[in-house]
Amino acid sequence: MPYKIIKKLQLGNSGTLFEMDIYAPLIAKKAFAGNFILIRINETGERIPLTIADYNREVGIITIVVQIVGKSTLLLSHQNEGDELLDVVGPLGNRIHIKKYEHPIIIIGGGVGIAPCYPQAKELKEVGNKIISILGARTKDLIFWREKMAGISDKIIISTNDGSEGIKGFVTEPLKDIISKEKISLVIAIGPMIMMKNVVSITDGTENLPRVETFVSLNTIMIDGTGMCGGCRFPAKDGQIHFACVEGPDVNGHIVDFDILLNREKRFAEFEEKSYDLYKEECKNLKPR
């Protein structure tokens, strides 16, 4: 069953971020914050995991946000409204634990990680939580969904590495400031691996700051999405092996050995770069639209 792209929008001015609405009524019916899908664009394409950024059960649509980082995401960015994707499998993974917390929740989105933060903030807000959102990126052109996040947040803070919008610096600076001044029940961080590692180093109670329960989202290599292939396994600090696709993708950040995962990210870098360059050579006249 092909899955049609109903809407496609470019986000920001970087030319690398795209929002897509995909008609997938059965997935939309069962989707919740925290779930992800596996997409295969065509018969020769690889499976890529993408977090469900929003869903509309009534019209049968799920929303994804794609950042161009390699061949498959570049190919996906070349698809337009009316085009069909060969495979969309989901919803996979676990729904985040939704409950009313005693104190505010801080939700931190870094770059394209802002997208999966939205449904989490929305569902947690719906049960009465106070939401503080921190959105961060290298530059303002990579910040998106400001209005959507503001609409479900009690407070929103923006930080950019270059100072082009909001606070100049990293998301960890406003995080430190907040947890040093008020009681926080939960921190959720979704974004680059190094960002999540740095967030956890602040909330783990080792920097003369209170220890705060923290969840991170592990966008590791996923092939079948059910834990059978073992591609998404990750080591914990206690030596135990976990599987992001069936236990997560949101997991307790305090147990994750980020140093091993950061090294693992580089494992296929050479092959990914070659594949990306070959694809660009094949379609020199194609540009993201």
What does each C-alpha distance from 229 to 43, 223, 225, 242, 248 come to in angstroms?
20, 7, 8, 13, 15
Q: Which CATH superfamily is domain 3-94+277-282 in?
A: Translation factors (2.40.30.10)
Helix, strand and coil content of the chain, in percent to the nearest 5, comes to: 30, 30, 40
Give the tens place of pLDDT for each residue, 117-172.
Answer: 999 999 999 999 999 999 999 999 999 999 999 999 999 999 999 999 999 999 99
CB 131 within 8 A of CB 154: yes
Domain boundaries defined on the chain: 3-94+277-282, 105-217
Helix (H) or strand (E) holding 73: helix 71-77
What pLDDT does 8 receive? 96
CB 114 within 8 A of CB 143: yes
CB 49 within 8 A of CB 222: yes
Give the tens place of pLDDT for each residue, 220-230.
Answer: 767 777 777 77
In DSSP terms, 18 is beta-bridged to 10, 66
Give the tens place of pLDDT for each residue, 85-114.
Answer: 999 999 998 988 899 999 999 999 999 999
* Confidence category of residue 3, pLDDT binned at 50, 70, 90: very high
What pLDDT does 289 receive? 47
**Predicted structure pTM score:** 0.89
What pLDDT does 268 receive? 65
pLDDT higher at 231 or 272: 231
What pLDDT does 20 receive? 96
Nearest to 124 by CA among 105, 151, 147: 105
Q: Matching CATH topology for 3-94+277-282 and 105-217?
A: no
Instruction: State which CATH number among 3.40.50.80, 3.40.640.10, 3.40.50.300, 3.10.180.10 fits the domain covering 105-217.
Output: 3.40.50.80
